[in-house]
Amino acid sequence: MVQDLILIDGTDGGGQVLRTALSLSMITGQAFRMTGIRGKRSRPGLLRQHLTAVRAAAEICGARTLGAELNSTAIEFSPGAVKAGQYSFAIGTAGSTMLVLQTLLPALLQADGSSTVRITGGTHNPAAPPFDASR
């Protein structure tokens, strides 16, 4: 079955546009194509934390992706069904673990079972919500 793609221009937005599109796509099953990802940022395109969010979302829902690579400014994301399970994702830098989790959590809350998600990366980034493991 061919899905109609929702077209999203990410030129004026940041990573939040991508994270929200991924979450909504996983929940609704609607595919999208995003161009101009983080286009007006000093380093446009997918950085490690954005790429991790795309790959993690794809794993959780069995999505097909195009353009999911470092520095890419355009991707296509065609989701399948969200699957509960045990997941582990490594950003590979100090990129925000909480922003990756923000992408995945809404969809996993809709899954038919419980999940465990482990994300390694940064926990206290100045432009992202922090996580305090000592509490």
Q: Which mean pLDDT values do the consecutive 10-residue runs of the chain (135 residues) have?
A: 82 94 97 97 94 97 97 98 97 86 95 95 68 59
pLDDT at 40: 94
38 close to 15: Cβ distance less than 8 angstroms: yes
| Integer CA distances (angstroms), 115 to 58, 84, 110, 125, in order | 15, 5, 11, 25
Whole-model pTM: value is 0.90
pLDDT at 1: 41
Q: Can you name the CATH fold of 6-120? A: UDP-n-acetylglucosamine1-carboxyvinyl-transferase; Chain (3.65.10)
pLDDT at 42: 92
pLDDT at 115: 97
| Integer CA distances (angstroms), 59 to 16, 41, 56, 81, in order | 20, 27, 5, 10
